[in-house]
């Protein structure tokens, strides 16, 4: 089966078009690493350029939909539908020439994410989901893993930033999880792809503090439609408000919450 609803088609087209620029700019990063100016300013320009391409495509196809984007902020046009956009999730990886980053677009209807797409342009992996119609990777159905014991699972996380207010707490949580699993905790630097990997069954769980809505919006529907859970650290639904996101294959949710408590 292939997801080809009108909204999904709009999202795919926007991602494909933006990815051409993103791939081309990524190819310049290696040259910029050794320059006096460095790649920082270049990446900022690239981020905004990719964002503009996506927003132009979305507005052309759906002129009455609002948009929330990392760089552009809020563009209010209507109350029912809103795109949630992160043009480059994993900017630090992009900046350093590490080929692990993604474009992330979620579509919200009446405050609920109903569609999501996370596209890794370097690997050409497109994770797509739609409420009630499942999750897919390059048109192949995906589902979360079935590992049932936390000790045998592979867990991802991210952060903390050097100046994070809860830095000590985040590091303490990392220590706790490290003592509860056999495989060392992984940090790959892209929350969107971390969530996509939970949906695809590549990893079993993911937790992180201090994430913004655009970091996780598409991942929410991907994981739910793949049979997983997305909660806050207490097992509730305030993950957007509290910026405490726990994503699992559903089987290890309680064990992960116990560790966090």
Domains and CATH numbers, the chain: 6-142 (3.30.540.10), 150-260 (3.40.190.80)
Predicted local confidence at residue 37, as pLDDT = 47
State the pLDDT at residue 33: 55
pLDDT at residue number 126: 97
- Beta-bridged to residue 15, according to DSSP, are none
Distance CA 261, CA 188 (A): 24
pLDDT at 49 exceeding the cut of 60? yes
> Are the CB atoms for 57 and 13 separated by under 8 Å?
yes
The residue-averaged pLDDT of 37-51 equals 73
In this predicted model, which residue has the larger pLDDT, 159 or 168? 168
Span 169-187, mean pLDDT?
Answer: 94
Please give the average per-residue pLDDT across 227-244, as a whole number: 93
152: DSSP letter: G
Token code pair at residue 152: 């045998």
- The string of pLDDT tens digits covering residues 79-124 is 899 999 999 999 889 888 899 999 999 999 999 999 999 999 999 9
pLDDT score at 102: 97
pLDDT at 101 (0 to 100)? 97
Strands in 112-181 per DSSP E: 112-120, 125-130, 134-137, 140-142, 155-157
In the beta sheet, which residues pair with residue 231?
246
**Token pair for residue 123?**
């690997």
Average pLDDT for the chain: 92
**What Rg value do the Cα atoms of the chain yield, rounded?**
18
Among the listed residues 121, 155, 154, the one whose alpha carbon sits nearest the alpha carbon of residue 138: 121
pLDDT in tens, 237-249: 999 998 999 999 9
What are the tokens at 58?
């979305």
The confidence band for 32, taking pLDDT boundaries of 50, 70 and 90, is low
Of residues 147 and 39, more confidence is placed in 147
Task: Determine the average pLDDT of the residues in 146-175.
Answer: 92
Q: Which residue has the tokens 């790649």?
A: 39
Exposed/middle/buried for residue 174 (C-beta within 10 Å: 0-12, 13-18, 19+) = middle
| Rounded distance between C-alpha atoms, residue 150 and residue 239, angstroms | 21
Pairing state between β 205-209 and 155-157: parallel
Residue 74, pLDDT > 90, answer yes
What is the reported pLDDT for 34?
Answer: 46
Statement: residue 1 has pLDDT above 80: no
Higher pLDDT among residues 169 and 4, named by residue: 169
Task: Write the burial class of residue 103 (CB in 10 Å: 0-12 exposed, 13-18 middle, 19+ buried).
Answer: buried
> Is residue 41 scored above 70 in pLDDT?
no
């Amino acid at each position: 089966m292939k997801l080809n609803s009108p909204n999904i088609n709009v999202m795919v087209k926007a991602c494909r078009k933006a990815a051409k620029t993103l791939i081309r700019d990524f190819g310049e990063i290696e040259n910029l690493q050794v320059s006096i100016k460095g790649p920082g300013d270049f990446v900022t320009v690239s981020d905004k350029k990719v964002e503009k391409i996506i927003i132009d495509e979305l507005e052309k196809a759906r002129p009455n939909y609002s948009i929330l984007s990392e760089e552009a902020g809020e563009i209010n046009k209507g109350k029912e539908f809103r795109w949630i956009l992160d043009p480059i999730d994993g900017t630090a990886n992009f900046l350093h020439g590490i080929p692990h980053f993604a474009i992330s677009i979620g579509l919200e209807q009446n405050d609920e994410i109903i569609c999501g797409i996370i596209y890794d342009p370097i690997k050409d992996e497109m994770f797509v989901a739609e409420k009630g119609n499942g999750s897919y990777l390059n048109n192949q159905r995906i589902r979360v893993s079935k590992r049932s014991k936390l000790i045998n699972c592979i867990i991802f996380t991210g952060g903390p930033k050097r100046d994070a207010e809860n830095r000590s707490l985040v590091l303490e949580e990392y220590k706790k999880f490290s003592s509860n699993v056999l495989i060392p905790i992984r940090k790959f630097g892209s929350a969107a792809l971390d969530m996509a990997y939970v949906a695809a069954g590549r990893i079993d769980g993911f937790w992180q503090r201090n994430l913004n809505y655009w970091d996780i919006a598409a991942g929410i529907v991907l994981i739910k439609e793949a049979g997983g859970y997305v909660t806050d650290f207490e097992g509730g639904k305030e993950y957007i408000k509290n910026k405490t996101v726990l994503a699992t294959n559903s089987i290890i949710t309680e064990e992960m919450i116990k560790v966090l408590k």
